[in-house]
Amino acid sequence: MKKNINILFMGTPDFCVPILESLIDNYNVVGVVTQPDKEVGRHKEIRFSPVKEKAIEKGILVIQPEKIRKEYQEILNREPDLIVTCAYGQIIPKEILDYPKYGCINVHASLLPKYRGGAPIQRAIMNGEEETGITIMYMDEHMDTGNMISKATIKIGDNDNFETIHDKLSVLGRDLLLETLPKIIDGTNESIKQNDEEATFAPIITREDEMIDFNKTAEEIYNHIRALSPFPGAYATLDGKIVKIYNSRINKQFYTEKENGEIGEIYKDGIGVSCKDYEIVITDIMFAGKKRCLMKDYFNGHDGSELLNKVFNKED
């Protein structure tokens, strides 16, 4: 433990919580910076970020600037020796970056310089990557471009989805940070410049990104679905209504002349949908106005043959 080192933490989603907890246990956390509270639902209830909830639980001061580029003095007043950020959500201004004795570092959920940006986990799975990881880097005034300090890698298994990789990387980020911080403090850490020519980007997922295109290959569709499962969930339309799709499997034994997006087969565990090459079998779904369910459970109360020959994303 180095409770004489003052650390300020900046982060927002639940991915960051294990990292914040480890800092509180091992260092003197002088404050937490997180995004402003959000209004959610029809009743506009105020929701705190997971990081704010944890900070309050641990009795840590919470700072929530609307625009950190203009509202940073309270952060400097905490006199941090080191600032650690992770999925905070705003670009950090030079006034903050230049302040701490040991610098500002970021825990990023990709193997930089690949997948700079706000959705590295989703984009890596969507693109069929076989591995991903955590990079701890020094921060600069641009997005995820600073010098790299340390890395750790994990495999992306065929059955992994956003949730499983998210949870693995959250723990990996915590462990790598605890391993790296003593080296930063005693000045023995590496600082490796990123190769911008090797950089790829991971922009935030938009509503358009969530829609499944059945004109793509079965593998592309399979990766798309698991990259967004369970949140926000990939979707398609059926009979003009939104259908969320959370899990699937590829059937390479099947080839049909049916239209892409057409439901051509009913299996015990799912519905077979034609795509560019093979068949994608949808096994976990949420029909419009219904609860999420496994297709095998849906068939217990519904005649699956009623879905035959219907076409996803068909325009009237």
256-300 pLDDT, tens digit per residue, is 678 999 999 999 999 999 999 999 999 999 999 999 999 999 999
Distance CA 171, CA 159 (A): 19
Q: With 60 as the cut, is the pLDDT of residue 1 above it?
A: no
Domain with CATH 3.10.25.10 in the chain: 207-307
CATH of domain 2-198: 3.40.50.170
Residue-wise pLDDT for 77-103, tens only, equals 999 999 999 999 999 999 999 999 999
Alpha-helix residue ranges (DSSP H) falling in the chain: 17-26, 50-57, 73-77, 94-97, 120-126, 162-186, 207-210, 218-227, 295-301
Question: CB–CB of 23/10 below 8 Å?
Answer: no
CA distance 148 to 279: 42
Instruction: Give me the mean pLDDT over the 218-235 stretch.
Output: 97
Q: How many percent of the chain have pLDDT more than 90?
A: 92
Q: Angle, nearest 10°, between helix axes 50-57 and 17-26?
A: 30
Residue 35 has pLDDT above 80, yes or no: yes
Between CA 272 and CA 301 the distance in angstroms is 19
CATH code 3.40.50.170 region(s) in the chain:
2-198
At CA 116, angle to CA 110 and CA 119, rounded to 5? 75
pLDDT number for residue 294: 98
Q: Give residue 175's pLDDT.
A: 98
| CATH architecture of structural domain 207-307 | Roll (3.10)
- Give me 251's structure tokens: 């059937």
Locate 91 and state its tokens: 């670009």
Average pLDDT, the chain: 95
CB burial readout 87-108, b (16+ within 10 A) else e: bbbeebbeebbebbebbbbbbb
* pTM of the entire predicted model: 0.95
